[in-house]
Amino acid sequence: MNSSEEMAVSGMSAGRSAMRMGPAELVQAAAMARRFYLEGKSKIQIAEEFGVSRFKVARVLETALERDLVRIEIRVPAELDAERSDALRARYGLRHAVVVESPADAEESPDPENLGEVAADLLGELVTEGDVLGLAWGRSTIHMAAALDRLPPCTVVQLTGVYDAGTAERGSVEAVRRAAQVSGGDAHPIYAPMLLPDAATAQALRHQTGIARAFEYFDKVTVACVSIGSWEPGISTVHDMLTEEERAHYASLGVAAEMSAHLFDAEGRRIGRDLGERCITVKADQLRRIPEVVAIAGGQRKAAAIDAVLRSGLVTSLVTDTSAADYLMTAGPTPTPALNRADPDGA
């Protein structure tokens, strides 16, 4: 039996209607229910044990539920919201959606640290031995890596450059190293800024030995972990790295969200593709081919951006909070299921 489900079988706690059953019926029903719900025996096995038909076993079990002889409780940790998680998964057609309770200051704190902790546990479930795990730059992925305590043997590769090469040891490079240390696999960090002054400089860096070696793994990544930013100061690292003129230019194109230096409008269409030529990052088409792409993002200030990225079809799973989830459940028309992995641009 799943440890998150507690099955309580009790004749003494039966409701008033259950007391209409005779004592022999109560005892037999409780015994059958115990065999079925707690011991995992089949209806055929129970029928053979008690010398009755399996149809009678089915009727007894149904009656036990109706008359409150059997009570079934499904429990998850208090910080997880199972109902919102399932609703969000269904609305966006995600493979996995995990919603955690927002902290009291959620409005001012996008991507609270507990998202990283839950994402670390999720990666422990999703990653299997021999996988290639890709980590993109982001505060949430850094929090996730710091919380990792179990990971099967796998190769870990950095999917983007860093926000500031001077802080690499405290950022995504360290996250890659941490994940590789936990898994016991090889690490392939990228010691380069995410955004370069021009396309020529970015192209030259891509051919440097260490960076080129990391890029060779991009098409081999099986599980990726990414962050999402909304187009405002302090919420998108790409926004903060650009000049005022550049920010205004991309804003005029309708940018609503950023993920791994790729820009999206509110409908999930990629815009401002010229920016990618200046960036050290995994390509959008490469992300689309990765079997499992987990986004970690939450908070009211990021809710619209999360919706935009989910509509792009690049993400298969999401770890978020109740603050963002409540917005996402009513945001615009029902989106195309993400598992179609269709490109909204048709490209």
The CA distance from 294 to 159, in Å, is 13
* Out of 24-38, 50-64, 294-308, 315-329, least confident range: 24-38
Which residue matches tokens 């010229």?
274
Give whole-number Cα distances, 19 to 12, 67, 287, in Å.
Answer: 9, 9, 60
Give the span between the Cα atoms of 311 and 308, in whole angstroms: 5
Average pLDDT over the chain, rounded to an integer: 85
Please write the tens of the pLDDT for every residue from 284-310: 999 999 999 999 999 888 999 999 999
**Backbone angles phi and psi of 149, in degrees to 5:** -130, -5
Closest CA to 305 of 242, 246, 260: 260
HEC letters along 214-277: HHCCHHHCCEEEEECEECCCCCCHHHHHCCHHHHHHHHHCCCCEEECCEEECCCCCEECHHHHH
Q: With bands split at pLDDT 50, 70 and 90, how would you rate the model's confidence at 104?
A: low
Instruction: Give residue-wise pLDDT tens across range 203-247.
Output: 999 999 989 999 999 999 999 999 999 888 777 778 888 888 988
Angle between helix 23-33 and 43-50 (nearest 10): 140
Give the DSSP letter of residue 171: T
- Percentage of residues of the chain with pLDDT beyond 70: 84
**Average pLDDT value for residue range 122-131:** 94
Q: Is 80 exceeded by the pLDDT of residue 154?
A: yes
Q: Which two tokens stand for residue 106?
A: 């959620």
